[in-house]
Amino acid sequence: MIEKFQTIESKINTPITYFLMGILWISVILIMVVIGVVFNLIYHNFSPYLEHDPGIFFTLLIAQLLLIFCCIALIMALTYRKKQKIRKAVVDEKGVTFYNNRNAIIETILYHDLQPAQNSSTDVHVFNTQTVKSGKTTLQVYLKNKAGEIGPTRVDFNFELVIVGNRYDLYRHFLKGIQQFRPDLKISQQAIDQYNLSSEPQKTELGIFEYIMASIVILIAAGLLYVFMLLLKIIV
């Protein structure tokens, strides 16, 4: 009896994701505070700067514009087009399906749609040469476009502004699906070795140490923010 192909869903590394998001929002807040401080300096010293030291005035003005630009860019990166950002992936017997934060399907890559490569000795391969399981890695497969032409497509489990804790398992399971449902396609030896397709998977779950380190870094960031606010009060 053939064992049913399991379904694997992406798992968000919540502590690290929240930490990174927190750092970005703290950066936004700090930039806004600095914008306020610079504006206050310009407002209360407009005439003296302009009359006696226009160099400082124009330097502060340029710095203010750059800070405003950086602040707007960060806010847009954190909030813009959320519906189009991938937040979940599910690998099952059909292929991989990507969802947004509202659980709406953004993209699907199905096993039966995969095509053999025309200018390569392998049909599925690792896009880069990185061999660290926790590092950024993508797979490259081939699909037909609307014009009927076969071209490369990346299978990417590195989500924007979100840390996926089981990326290695997702890549491995997707490749296992290709082995089972598309045995006609040739997987590169690098992908076979990197994802242990000929042996049992290795444990890649986060342990207590990673969570403790994330907590320590969050506390350090909070302490730095508190020190910054104290210094700001002293200066102002």
pLDDT per residue over 33-65, tens digit each?
A: 888 888 887 777 777 766 777 777 777 788 888
Q: What is the pLDDT of residue 212?
A: 57
Backbone angles phi, psi at 77, to 5 degrees: -65, -35
Backbone angles phi, psi at 105, to 5 degrees: -70, 130
Per 3-state DSSP, the chain is made up of helix, strand and coil in percentages (nearest 5) of 50, 15, 35
pTM over 0.75: no
Low-confidence ranges of the chain (pLDDT < 70): 1-3, 49-50, 81-83, 129-135, 199-236
Q: What is the pLDDT of residue 206?
A: 47
pLDDT of 184-198, one tens digit each?
A: 999 999 999 989 887
Q: What is the pLDDT of residue 233?
A: 57
Domains of the chain, by residue range, sit at: 14-80+209-235, 109-205
Q: What is the pLDDT of residue 205?
A: 45
Alpha-carbon distances, residue 56 vs 32, 53, 230 (angstroms): 20, 6, 25
